[in-house]
Amino acid sequence: DAKTTQPNSMESNEEEPVHLPCNHSTISGTDYIHWYRQLPSQGPEYVIHGLTSNVNNRMASLAIAEDRKSSTLILHRATLRDAAVYYCIKDAGGTSYGKLTFGQGTILTVHP
C-alpha cells in the first residue's frame, strides 16, 4: 500500500510557522518520504524528501518520527505564495524508479 494519510485542509496566518502532518504507517525501510506542492493551475513542485533523518532546505524542514510511521513538513514562516495543495508521498519502494503515488493532499490556506 503506497498511500499516506493527511488532513484535507489546514489554515495559517502569514509569517507564522505551519506544521503539516502526514501518517505513513505501512512504510518499509527503503521507502523515502517526499513532499510536493501544487499551486493553483500549475504543475507540482518539489519541496523536500528524506529517509530517516530530519532534513532542511531553503523551502522547508522535514521532521521524520523515530519509528518512521509519520512525518511533519514545517514551513518556518508562511507567505501568501505558500497557499497550495501539499502532497506527502511514500514512494513505491525498492531501488527501481520512484513511482510516486499522489493522494489528495492537504489544502493549505494562508491568511494575510
Partner 1 sequence: NAGVTQTPKFQVLKTGQSMTLQCAQDMNHEYMSWYRQDPGMGLRLIHYSVGAGITDQGEVPNGYNVSRSTTEDFPLRLLSAAPSQTSVYFCASSRTSGKYNEQFFGPGTRLTVL
Contact footprint for partner 1 (CB under 8 A) = 32, 36, 42-46, 49, 87, 91, 95-105
State which residue, 63 or 102, has the beta carbon closest to partner 1. 102
Q: Residue 34: which of 86, 78, 69 has the closest Cα?
A: 86
**Burial class of residue 88 (count of CB atoms within 10 Å of its CB; 0-12, 13-18, 19+):** buried
Shortest Å distance, C-beta 16 to partner 1: 26
Q: How many CB atoms lie within 10 A of CB 48?
A: 20
Q: CB of residue 40 vs partner 1: minimum separation in angstroms? A: 12
**Least distance to partner 1, CB of residue 93, Å:** 8
Q: Which residues contact 104 (CB under 8 A, 6 or more apart)?
A: 6, 8
Closest separation between CB of residue 29 and partner 1, Å?
Answer: 13
Nearer to partner 1, 3 or 15 (CB): 3
